Chain A
Amino acid sequence: MTLLSTRGLSKHFDGLKAVTGVDFDLEEGEVRALIGPNGAGKTTLVGMICGRIPPSSGTVQFDNADITALPAHKRILRGMAYTFQITSVFARLPAAENVALAARRRLQGDAVDEAVDDALDRVGLLDRRDEEAGNLSYGHQRLLEIAMGLVQRPRLLILDEPTQGLADSEIDAFKALIRELSAEATILLIEHNMSVVMETADRVTVLNFGEVLAEGTPQQIHENDAVQAAYLGTG
């Protein structure tokens, strides 16, 4: 079943065409990577999907309903979760409260604490639950972002460059986490790290200059000449 689809989705900032006419379909249960050179329009596309950025034209469908006109918070309530590219935790609040804020959208009372501890445990931060988020290391803040996403039990989890700035050992743990999460949620992953893309994604979509350049399995994308050219230049 198709969970998310966009038709003719475009965003123009004055003269700049950030995203142009993107038709994008995401099947329920898959892990999809969205890749492309810097400035390809990945974050803008995802911003239109989750409602942070209003599109210039085109439509977004989620779970068989047109959500193009819905504000961001209502899309989140329908089962999307979005983690920010630039770490955006509540720095002056404890780690547990960060996750609790996300959990309280669907839970109340003691169930919140349970869900919070469970989510922190899954990303390996349970022993830091009372620490102020701003005091956590960068890698731990990234993991906290992911805990805030998964505690929402989303149907669609959108991760915007989750491994940016992580150490290699942390990236390995992250890959394992994605594989585990893929059993419960559809995942849309904006990612630069090719090893993460190759090892976790079922399918890959490549954006270039705001348009879909190619789509396929990681292997197909790896062998695609146009993608090679876009990333590496010809030669």
Chain B
Amino acid sequence: MSATAKTLTLHLGLLAVLFALQFVLPAYHHGNLARIMVLASYAVGYNILFGYTGLLSLGHALFFAAGMYGMGLTIQYAGFTPAPALIVGILAGAVVATALALLALRTTGVAFLIVTLMFAQAGYLTILYFGEYTRGDEGFVIQAFDRMLWGIDLSNPENRYFAAWGLFAVCLLLCLRLVRAPFGKTLVAIRENEERVRMLGYNTFAHKWGAMVISGTISAAAGAFYGLLFGYAGATFASVQYSIFPLLWVLLGGAGTVLGPFVGTLFMFYLIDLSSGVTTAYLLIVGVALVLLTLFAPQGLTGELRRRVWRWLP
């Protein structure tokens, strides 16, 4: 089997398994997996900038929140139905990413990290400042009757799972398509050696800009879906915590791999879930697991798999 055939089999296979799981999983895990797929979509977006382009951002909560509030506020105050509200959310993320990229990409490395972090904090404070509309930390609930997408009730667990699966499938295949295209390969080359890429005749700024807009837009889509599917928008999702999460998921799962974000999100979610069932000091268990992974699988779970077994893994 050629590398392309293996790649397609693996990724489509995963999507097929995830699709089938909804019919067999007990209610609790069914709900978890829906949540994981939406969060994994967020991580897929983050991975395009961090894993493939090599730009470490600590401001992605800004994009996630832009999607969530772009969707939530238009439903709440403009009376939008879910479909146009989702589009507004995704566009809001794209616009924010386009603007932030122009400013932040003037820097690299640690400075880039700090600039993105500062803008995300400014976004978080803005949401608190306009608490009259956003309800600040407390957030607001998006009522079940507002969550009817083309007559489908998204507050229903089966429909919610299906929508989460659809979002994840689109993000995963988009990412796969991107990294196999010349544009994605150029991003990888920029990660490896930007100056060399520039001296091959590429406008590296434009490439990084494109990567950041795609990354931010996918993150915003995840934020918009998260708010719509789980019926809530709150300022916590704009806090620095939600910028660190995708970084952790991607690092654990394998930065610069298409499957890494999903694997990392799944692993982290259930690590917290299972360990908190054992002890109240569950963060201790989580911490030890993270240290062990960093020691023995520094390239993340999928990254190790690629290094040891499946060299062809994209």
Contacts and interface: CB of A to CB of B under 8 A. Distances in A.
A88 B200 contact: no
Pairs of residues from A and B, 9 with the lowest C-beta to C-beta distance, nearest first = A76-B201, A90-B192, A105-B201, A77-B201, A88-B196, A102-B200, A82-B199, A73-B201, A73-B203
Interface string A43-86: 00000001010000000000000000001111011000010100
Contacts of A72: 198-199
Contacts, number: 51
A101 B204 CA distance: 13
A177 to B, nearest CB: 20
B193, B196, B199: most-surrounded residue (chain A CB, <10 A) = B199
A131 B42 CA distance: 34
B200 A148 contact: yes
B311 to A, nearest CB: 10
B47 interface: no
A51 B107 CA distance: 20
Contact of A52 (B192, B199, B203): B199
A191 interface: no
14 contacts: A50-B199, A52-B195, A71-B203, A73-B201, A74-B201, A76-B200, A82-B199, A84-B196, A88-B196, A93-B188, A100-B185, A101-B200, A104-B186, A152-B200
A13 to B, nearest CB: 19
Contacts of B197: 101
B286 to A, nearest CB: 31
Interface string B177-221: 000001001101100110111111111100000000000000000
A62 to B, nearest CB: 14
A82 B195 CA distance: 11
Contacts of B186: 101, 104
A97 B185 contact: yes
Interface residues of B, number: 17
Interface residues of A, number: 25
A91 interface: yes
Given A50-B199, A92-B192, A101-B200, 16 more contacts: A52-B199, A71-B203, A73-B201, A73-B203, A73-B204, A76-B199, A89-B196, A90-B196, A93-B188, A97-B185, A100-B185, A101-B186, A101-B189, A105-B200, A105-B201, A152-B200
A75 to B, nearest CB: 8
Given A73-B204, A90-B193, A84 B188 contact: no
B198 to A, nearest CB: 6
Contacts of A148: 200
A93 B189 CA distance: 8
A72 B196 CA distance: 11
B203 A88 contact: no
Contacts of A93: 188-189, 192
A102 B192 CA distance: 14
| Most chain A beta-carbon contacts within 10 A, residue among B186, B201, B202 | B201
Given A73-B204, A101-B185, A104-B182, A84 B199 contact: yes
B257 to A, nearest CB: 14
